[in-house]
């Protein structure tokens, strides 16, 4: 997805620095939420953009970014999602996290891996008991494993509850899910 490929959808970002980074990397149009208290006016703009061109929510991989994403999902059904791993969005001094700190290549890769929510609610490919068995909840490494799973599946960081929701929302089947878990297990064995 270089400068020769146009993104039709409008990208929803948090602020001006994110807009600059997205325009530099992908030449895409943006709407800024200007913080995690998304105003009714901004939601109206996002709803209009979704009707006219579609939108891709592309927020920072932190709590405020997840909060903005949840607010938009609640008020504007059917939005697409792009996720940037936290490791690719850390500032040079290591103190800040944000899309504006990512490389152009990482931004383009995240936008190329957009996830579209399922039209109909479907069953998650895993049960709560399996999440425990796979060390994705209730284990000292669970958060680290879920974060890596989110990177592999391009669904962002999640807690145990939101993991099940995202798997169903993005129609991630059991084979894709189990392959990602196997990749995490293999990485763990190679680092041991």
- Identify the pLDDT of residue 116: 82
pLDDT at residue 3 greater than cutoff 50:
no
Higher per-residue confidence, 84 vs 125: 84
DSSP 81-124: E----GGGSB-TTSS-B-GGGS-HHHHHHHHHT-B---SS----
Higher per-residue confidence, 170 vs 118: 170
pLDDT band at 48 (very low <50, low <70, confident <90, very high): very high
pLDDT at residue 127 greater than cutoff 90:
no
The model's pTM is: 0.76
- Identify the pLDDT of residue 1: 40
- Identify the pLDDT of residue 2: 44
Give residue limits of the domains in the chain: 10-112, 128-191
Closest CA to 155 of 68, 58, 81: 81
- Identify the pLDDT of residue 103: 94
- Phi first, then psi, for residue 104 (nearest 5°) are -60, -40
Please compute, for residue 145, the number of CA atoms within 13 A of its CA located in the half-sphere on the CB side: 23
- Identify the pLDDT of residue 122: 61
Mean pLDDT, range 103-110, rounded to an integer: 94
User: Which CATH fold topology does 10-112 show?
Assistant: Dna Topoisomerase Vi A Subunit; Chain: A, domain 2 (3.40.1360)
Mean pLDDT, range 156-175, rounded to an integer: 87
Mean pLDDT, range 104-112, rounded to an integer: 94
pLDDT at residue 49 greater than cutoff 60:
yes
pLDDT one-digit tens code per residue, 62-86: 989 989 998 998 999 889 999 998 8
């Amino acid at each position: 997805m270089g400068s020769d490929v146009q993104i039709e959808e409008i990208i929803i970002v948090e602020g001006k620095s994110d807009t600059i980074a997205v325009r530099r990397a992908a030449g895409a149009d943006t709407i800024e939420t200007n913080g995690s208290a998304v105003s009714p006016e901004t939601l109206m703009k996002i709803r209009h953009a979704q009707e006219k061109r579609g939108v891709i929510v592309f927020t920072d991989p932190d709590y405020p970014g997840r909060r903005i994403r949840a607010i938009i999902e609640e008020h504007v059904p059917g939005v697409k999602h792009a996720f940037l791993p936290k490791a690719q969005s850390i500032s040079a001094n290591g103190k800040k996290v944000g899309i504006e700190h990512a490389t152009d290549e990482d931004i383009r890769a995240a936008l190329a891996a957009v996830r579209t929510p399922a039209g109909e609610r479907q069953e998650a490919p895993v049960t709560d008991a399996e999440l425990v068995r796979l060390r994705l909840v209730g284990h000292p490494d669970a958060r680290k494993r879920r974060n890596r799973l989110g990177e592999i599946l391009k669904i962002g960081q999640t807690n145990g509850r939101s993991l099940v929701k995202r798997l169903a929302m993005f129609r991630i089947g059991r084979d894709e899910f189990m392959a990602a878990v196997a990749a995490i297990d293999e990485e763990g064995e190679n680092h041991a």
